[in-house]
Chain A
Amino acid sequence: MPTPLSRLLPLLLPVGLLACNPWENLPDQDWYWMDGPLWDPSSAVAATDGVYIALPHAGALARVKDDGTFDVVDLDGAEVVRMVATPDASQVIVWDRWRVCEDPEAEKVEDCDEEELSWSYELSVVQDGAVQVVTEIPPHLNRLAFSPDGGTAVAYLDFESADDVPVDGVVDLTQVAFVDLGSGAVQSLSVGFSANNVLFSLDGSRAVVLSRSQVVVVDLATFEKTVTYPLTLDADQQVDPNGAALTPDGRYALITIEGSKDLYKLDLDVEAIDIISLEGAPATLSVNNDQDKSLLVYGSLAQVDVLEHEYFGIQSVELDEPCTAVLETATTALLYNDQARTHDVYELDFATLEPVEYVMANPVQSMELTASGRYAVAVLAPEYGSSGNDLDDYQDNRYGLGVIDLQEDDDVSLVLEAQPVGAAVVEDESGSFALLLLEGLDSLLKVDLSNPSVPAVVELVEAPTGIGALPDGRFYITHDAALGLVSFLDPATDTLTSTAGFGAVDLQGDDELPRLAGEE
């Protein structure tokens, strides 16, 4: 006959197990500080085969997949400096580096004298989780521009985004490098000081490299300079291009100059230069391929200039407030100011050149158009210190979301609970939506742009830190999780899958010198 005790025993076991959940009772006697971060959400690059994320602490690169798994890309001991996806997202270009010691006896970094320790750099083309091609480019070149077919990239130095300019002996600041992404072959060329922008001809046969006071056209078949256009004939004058675009026919390169009212028009076919005088130094030059026109907006002038591409005549349209940014559709343009504390957003119809004004509740921090061009979604920044009634103050002091229905000429400014850490727009058969991530909130707000007041909530596994688009129309969300956590969202079904743990890779890796000197 079973005793009461024997009856209780089967129950005691699970209770006991519950009481002994090891994750609940982790020993915690100390604090520890670690060089990190373990993973860098801001480095995430979406490719067709996953999201590539740098692991700075481990000096590794992880490919995070939407099936919950991840793998580590073998960079042969190198650590990621920066990454960028090719335009078709089939490959990821990785700038990576590894420690080198001049002392051949040293096996670990700590064994090497500081004076003998240096970095070696390379460029790796990663596809399907593996390095396909490795090539060397001058380490100070930190930005790539891709040819239209994606087969060639031009590496140049973007000094504004550079944390550091690695100097190994000498650095040629007039240099760019042309990289064949298929073979890894590199051709360096001196094109002028501070080359910071590259355009490609429509057929991809030429690259137009902009540098201080000159523009160089390079034949991509031979990598030879074919034409050099001077932007000044005075050696004492510095002319720094700060914006450039090709006209839709690819014949003309339009170049704006830092702090100048001149718009340079380079005829790439006839090889001639013309300067168009503007009324101010433009903040943005935007070419509309459908309209075959360009728009110029000025931070200090309340007007937008419409430049046609036949005779390059300018038509000026007055605005109430200056604008600094442009979004374009096939028939209209949206103008707004993301630098000043103005509230106006203008819709400019190319047919009538009559601006329609929308006034947001707060200054626009960023703006995005839906694919159809019907809706514009703006993140509104708080405007502290404003005076007004209590409700005005309430709205002014908070982040907001502006939704503009360009078809109905209607707009609404919503108040957000917290600062957005990520925003994206998506449009499908079910409608147009804004996906919002707010700081500290473990949920994603899916705002129906046709009825923005009542957003749907998608619960997240952890608080988010950012959102990005995947090539297939889905989104990835990075989370505030030290050991690594990325979610994949299908906006059509609002389903989420997560992949975690990749931040712990090589948490206590050795600081062995990955490649001995001479074995690179």
Chain B
Amino acid sequence: MLTGLFPMSLFTLALLAAPATAADHELSLELGGFGTMDERFDMFRQSPMVGTLGLRGAVALHDNVAIVLGVHHGAWGSSVEVDGEGSEYDDDEYYYYYSYEDEGDADFQAAYRGNQVLVGPKVDVRIVDAFRPYATVQAALFTGTVRLDDDPDHDDNENQLKATALQPGGVAALGFDLVPLRPRQPLRFGTHLELGYGLTAATGFQAKPPGGGEKVEIARFGFGGFYMRWGVGAYF
């Protein structure tokens, strides 16, 4: 989150410093969703899409064109059980069953914290003042940290593995801005919604072993799939 704040701060300054044009500048609080097609991400979250929270800013360059920058953050994690240690999947019966003595005991925790930075142009069409559909294509850069811990109840256990990686990608979406107040007011509040498709590269996460030595890959996955953003914010 802290890493995303810096570009957002710069963008805000730019926004405030930019002259007013026919298009709106914008600063919104957003909720987002990004697809997780890659099965390997299931270790962190078994869901086709994960939610994020962040900020979006837009700098209008022209009547219909703006540059948008969004910074989102999300964290997901699972308790992982390794087969043979307490649960088994019965292929014939298609169900999971627990070994009761191990029920509730995970073998290790797997967690991912990531920041998503997206930047790119937004081109809109003014239907009426309050409603402006748009299209956007944005470059994405995900920075994430994978953490594995096989004894989360203790702080000093040996097996606390951490690996960080950058995942470049991009999104393409269609959306709309809905700003219900009368035009030409200096500050208006509105909402936007955009839906589309996003994809990042599958990247390996290399962690340094607790005892030193060469890094080893502890995770490898990418993001991809359905993309959405919904935000409320100020338009000016």
Report if A and B touch in the complex (beta carbons < 8 A): yes
Which stretch from A17-25, A165-173, A299-307 is at the chain B interface? A17-25
Q: CB distance A504 to B148 under 8 Å?
A: yes
- Please indicate the chain A residues that have their CB under 8 angstroms from the CB of B43 in the complex: 32, 34, 507-508
Q: Would you mind naming 19 contact pairs between A and B with Cβ atoms under 8 Å apart?
A: A23-B147, A27-B75, A29-B76, A29-B78, A31-B79, A33-B82, A37-B83, A38-B107, A57-B82, A68-B209, A70-B209, A482-B80, A501-B207, A501-B209, A504-B148, A504-B207, A507-B148, A508-B217, A508-B218
A32 to B159, CA, bound (A): 19
Question: In chain B, what residue has the closest Cβ to A506?
Answer: B217
Which of A33, A68, A482 interacts with B210 by CB under 8 Å? A68
Please count the residue pairs between chain A and chain B whose beta carbons lie under 8 angstroms apart in the complex.
168
User: Given known contacts A32-B110, A481-B159, what 6 new A-B pairs fall within 8 Å (CB)?
Assistant: A27-B113, A33-B80, A57-B82, A69-B213, A72-B216, A501-B159
Question: In chain A, what residue has the closest Cβ to B158?
Answer: A500
Knowing A482-B150, A504-B148 touch, does A32 contact B220 (C-beta < 8 A)? no
Q: Does A234 reach chain B (CB closer than 8 Å)?
A: no
Which of A26, A30, A506 interacts with B45 by CB under 8 Å? A30
Give the interface size class of chain A. Answer: 35 or more
Q: CB distance A501 to B78 under 8 Å?
A: no
Q: Does A14 reach chain B (CB closer than 8 Å)?
A: no
Q: CB distance A483 to B155 under 8 Å?
A: no
Knowing A22-B147, A498-B158 touch, does A36 contact B84 (C-beta < 8 A)? yes
Q: Does B6 reach chain A (CB closer than 8 Å)?
A: no
A496 to B138, CA, bound (A): 53
Q: Does A514 reach chain B (CB closer than 8 Å)?
A: no
Q: Does B180 reach chain A (CB closer than 8 Å)?
A: no
Q: Separation in Å of the A57 CB from the closest CB of chain B?
A: 7
A1-48 contacts to B (CB < 8 Å): 21-24, 26-38
A100-152 contacts to B (CB < 8 Å): none
Binary interface encoding of chain A residues 442-458 relative to chain B, with 1 for a CB under 8 A from any of its CBs, else 0: 00000000000000000
- Please indicate the chain A residues that have their CB under 8 angstroms from the CB of B42 in the complex: 32
Q: CB distance B218 to A37 under 8 Å?
A: no
Q: CB distance A32 to B83 under 8 Å?
A: no
Which of A26, A38, A69, A500 interacts with B109 by CB under 8 Å? A26
Q: CB distance A68 to B218 under 8 Å?
A: no
Give the interface size class of chain B. Answer: 35 or more
Q: CB distance B213 to A485 under 8 Å?
A: no
- Please indicate the chain B residues that have their CB under 8 angstroms from the CB of A29 in the complex: 45, 76-78
Q: Separation in Å of the B213 CB from the closest CB of chain A?
A: 4
Q: Does B149 reach chain A (CB closer than 8 Å)?
A: yes
Q: Does A185 reach chain B (CB closer than 8 Å)?
A: no
Q: Does A484 reach chain B (CB closer than 8 Å)?
A: yes
Q: Does A505 reach chain B (CB closer than 8 Å)?
A: yes
Binary interface encoding of chain A residues 43-77 relative to chain B, with 1 for a CB under 8 A from any of its CBs, else 0: 00000000000000100000000011111100000
A21 to B152, CA, bound (A): 12
A33 to B106, CA, bound (A): 9
Q: CB distance A483 to B209 under 8 Å?
A: no
Which of B47, B96, B210 interacts with A501 by CB under 8 Å? B210
Q: Does B99 reach chain A (CB closer than 8 Å)?
A: no
Q: Does A174 reach chain B (CB closer than 8 Å)?
A: no
Q: CB distance B46 to A501 under 8 Å?
A: no
Q: Does A475 reach chain B (CB closer than 8 Å)?
A: no
Question: In chain B, what residue has the closest Cβ to A510?
Answer: B220
Q: Separation in Å of the A375 CB from the closest CB of chain B?
A: 34
- Please indicate the chain B residues that have their CB under 8 angstroms from the CB of A462 in the complex: 151, 157-158
Q: Does A502 reach chain B (CB closer than 8 Å)?
A: yes
Q: Does B143 reach chain A (CB closer than 8 Å)?
A: no
Knowing A68-B212, A70-B213, A498-B211 touch, does A28 contact B111 (C-beta < 8 A)? yes
Q: Separation in Å of the A476 CB from the closest CB of chain B?
A: 14
Knowing A33-B89, A508-B221 touch, does A69 contact B79 (C-beta < 8 A)? no
- Please indicate the chain B residues that have their CB under 8 angstroms from the CB of A34 in the complex: 43, 80-83
Q: Separation in Å of the B207 CB from the closest CB of chain A?
A: 7
Q: Does B219 reach chain A (CB closer than 8 Å)?
A: yes
Q: CB distance B78 to A30 under 8 Å?
A: yes
Residues of A within 8 A of B (CB): 21-24, 26-38, 57, 67-72, 461-462, 481-485, 498-510
Q: Separation in Å of the A350 CB from the closest CB of chain B?
A: 47
| Those 10 A-B pairs whose CB atoms lie nearest each other, nearest first | A68-B211, A36-B82, A482-B107, A69-B213, A500-B158, A27-B77, A483-B159, A30-B78, A26-B111, A32-B78
Q: CB distance B155 to A24 under 8 Å?
A: yes
Q: Separation in Å of the B32 CB from the closest CB of chain A?
A: 17
A72 to B150, CA, bound (A): 21
Question: In chain A, what residue has the closest Cβ to B38?
Answer: A508
A481 to B85, CA, bound (A): 11
Q: Separation in Å of the A481 CB from the closest CB of chain B?
A: 5
Q: Does B40 reach chain A (CB closer than 8 Å)?
A: yes
Question: In chain A, what residue has the closest Cβ to B213?
Answer: A69
Q: Does B214 reach chain A (CB closer than 8 Å)?
A: yes
Q: Separation in Å of the B200 CB from the closest CB of chain A?
A: 15
A482 to B79, CA, bound (A): 12
Binary interface encoding of chain B residues 82-126 relative to chain A, with 1 for a CB under 8 A from any of its CBs, else 0: 111101010000001000000000111111110000000000000
A482 to B220, CA, bound (A): 19
Q: CB distance A461 to B79 under 8 Å?
A: no
Knowing A32-B43, A505-B217, A509-B220 touch, does A37 contact B84 (C-beta < 8 A)? yes
Q: Does B64 reach chain A (CB closer than 8 Å)?
A: no
Knowing A23-B147, A509-B220 touch, does A482 contact B108 (C-beta < 8 A)? yes
- Please indicate the chain A residues that have their CB under 8 angstroms from the CB of B135 in the complex: none
Q: Does B161 reach chain A (CB closer than 8 Å)?
A: yes
A22 to B152, CA, bound (A): 11
Which of A23, A30, A37, A71 interacts with B214 by CB under 8 Å? A71
- Please indicate the chain B residues that have their CB under 8 angstroms from the CB of A501 in the complex: 158-159, 161, 207, 209-211, 216
Question: In chain A, what residue has the closest Cβ to B219?
Answer: A508
Knowing A498-B211, A507-B218 touch, does A481 contact B83 (C-beta < 8 A)? no
